[in-house]
Structure 1
Amino acid sequence: MKSQRLDQIEDYVLEHRNVSLDTLCETFHVSKNTIRRDIELLLKRSSIVKVYGGVAALKAAPEYPFLSYKEHNESFISEKRELCRQAASLVTNGDIIYIDSDSTCLDLIDFLSDSRCTILANSLLILNKAVSCPSLDVISVPGKLNRETLTFTGPDIQNYLEAYNISTAFISCTGVTIKNGLTTASAEEYITKKTIADRSEKLVLLADHSRFGRVSLMTCAPLKALDTLITDQKLPEDYQNFFQEQNIRVITPEQCV
């Protein structure tokens, strides 16, 4: 949709500060005439300004607020399911895996129903799904139930998680940038995500295109900590270059490197 593309273009310019028209055309797969029309509309928001050969940011990159589980769950449903299908192919029998509480990771259980592995999670919805799969060993992270996120959180989670040797952690986040890494808007979720990122042998990020260029409250892991990224669209050139330089595997519908 055009309104969605405008938001994405604005976020991209705010993140990169100065962007050429050619880069915008290539990143968003549109013609120069379309980009010029989009820019004219964005100028009315007073967030960007025209410069020679492109546009530049006038204000800081946006910080994205915490969203409830319901709000996250109702966006990019088909894209998230495909990310989970791709993620499941990375799991082998005998693995001990962590599945993040973000709605992006919820459908992963559907593709692991016949696997023989151990699932560690702090999400009530993921735990409920996993219970119906007899081949899965299920371990719940302790804590108090947060009714907004449907997750268990608490001060003892860090010590509890440090006892486990996690083969692969499948996580998501509110925002992803090269500079700020993986960010979350929830201080409670930050503790869990950071501990998991530090403890896991392999870290796999599931993130649809809307998460890129966003910066939220707290960084739970640097981008270079990833072993694999699974996303739904071709990445902007600067992200492609970064992942290639860091030898991080990228899985998208168009490519597998």
Structure 2
Amino acid sequence: MLASQRQERILAAVRADGAARVADLVESLDVSDMTVRRDIAELARAGLVRRVHGGAVAPDALGRPTDEPGFDAKRSWAGPEKAAIARAALATVEPGQAIALSAGTTTYLLAELLAGAGIPDLTVVTNGLRIADALHGAAGVEVILTGGVRTPSDALVGPVADATLASLRVDRTYLGVHGLDASGLTTPNLAEAATDRALMACAAATTVLADHTKWGVVGLARIAPLDDIDTLLTDDALPADARRHLTGADLRLVTTPGAAT
């Protein structure tokens, strides 16, 4: 297969799913890891994809500060890293706790794990429709859905959601974010930023779940500064500049091993 043909197939995969992993491309194209990485580099130089650790995403993925990708598009980005972060988060949930899960793809993976974990007497507050579905019928789990206005990422936001959260108190909020940098956590949606702040305010502690591709991404609406969170759970592909900023912040940084690529 010619390089141009491989690159056309890589580009088609990225356009279809929003992202493509090196490991999957190696298998589907029957070429070496190095060949796939060279092809991705060529496509990136042409502005057709954006390189990320372990693969490529669409060039406008997590792009303009007002862009809000849908749930299914975001779910395909950094999947192995998100799964590892969700497993690490699961290990911190204890029987009898009340916790909150914000809407998001990594928090959704945590919800799927919680549904099968059998943790007794667990209460989960969420503004995520997908999360509520994942936990529906799970043994020992009571689910409280906030209500509110639905966003493209299947979050419920706005005054109804905020008022519900203001009336509750939980042990810990697990918060997914669109982006983070030295100035803090951001999202493209103004109403979602307010609801995320309400999720943080109702909790004794906040753990942010964010894979390495979120670093340097800036949405229109600021949620909170880094010092307002207690723990950041990410993966070990986090860039060196991010580690320097986060080491100086008043938070606990936990990195999970990245998946082989």
1:200-229 deviation digits (Å, cap 9, x = unpaired): 211111111111011111011111111111
Name the amino acid aligned to 1:73.
R
Name the amino acid aligned to 1:110.
E
Task: List structure 1 runs of 4+ shifted beyond 4 angstroms.
Answer: none
The alignment status of 1:142 with 2:142, answered yes or no, reads no
1:252 is aligned to 255
CA contact (8 A) 2:179 2:187 kept: yes
1:174 is aligned to 178
The alignment status of 1:228 with 2:231, answered yes or no, reads yes
Match of 2:253, SS state, is strand
Cα distance between partner residues in 2 of 1:144 and 1:65:
18
Q: How big is the shift at 1:122?
A: 1.3
CA contact (8 A) 1:174 1:185 kept: yes
% identity of equivalent residues: 24
Structure 2 gaps of 5+ residues are 1-9, 11-40, 48-62
Name the amino acid aligned to 1:223.
L
Structure 1 gaps of 5+ residues are 4-37, 46-60
Q: How big is the shift at 1:161?
A: 0.6
1:110-168 deviation digits (Å, cap 9, x = unpaired): 3223112110011111111111312111111022444x322323322222211111211
2:113 is aligned to 111
Paired residue total? 202
1:174-215 deviation digits (Å, cap 9, x = unpaired): 111112x10001123112101112222111111111110111
1:219 is aligned to 222
Q: How big is the shift at 1:250?
A: 1.5
Query: Equivalences for 1:76-225 in 2 at 5 Å?
Result: 76-113=78-115, 114-116=118-120, 117-146=122-151, 148-179=152-183, 181-225=184-228
Cα distance between partner residues in 2 of 1:220 and 1:135:
32
1:216-251 deviation digits (Å, cap 9, x = unpaired): 110111111111111122433443344333342222
Cα distance between partner residues in 2 of 1:237 and 1:79:
17
Q: 1:237 to 1:79 in 2, by over 3 A?
A: closer
Q: How big is the shift at 1:63?
A: 3.2
- Kindly report the root-mean-square deviation, in angstroms, between the aligned alpha carbons of the 2 structures: 2.7
Q: 1:76 to 1:254 in 2, by over 3 A?
A: closer
Cα distance between partner residues in 2 of 1:215 and 1:198:
22
1:29 is aligned to none
Cα distance between partner residues in 2 of 1:118 and 1:107:
17
CA contact (8 A) 1:62 1:214 kept: no
The alignment status of 1:75 with 2:80, answered yes or no, reads no
Cα distance between partner residues in 2 of 1:134 and 1:70:
27
Cα distance between partner residues in 2 of 1:237 and 1:174:
20
Name the amino acid aligned to 1:128.
D
CA contact (8 A) 1:171 1:206 kept: yes
Q: 1:245 to 1:154 in 2, by over 3 A?
A: closer
Match of 2:159, SS state, is coil
2:29 is aligned to none
Cα distance between partner residues in 2 of 1:185 and 1:210:
16
Q: Compare 85-94 and 231-240 and name the one that shifted more.
A: 231-240
Name the amino acid aligned to 2:197.
K
Cα distance between partner residues in 2 of 1:64 and 1:210:
18
Name the amino acid aligned to 1:124.
L
Match of 1:166, SS state, is coil
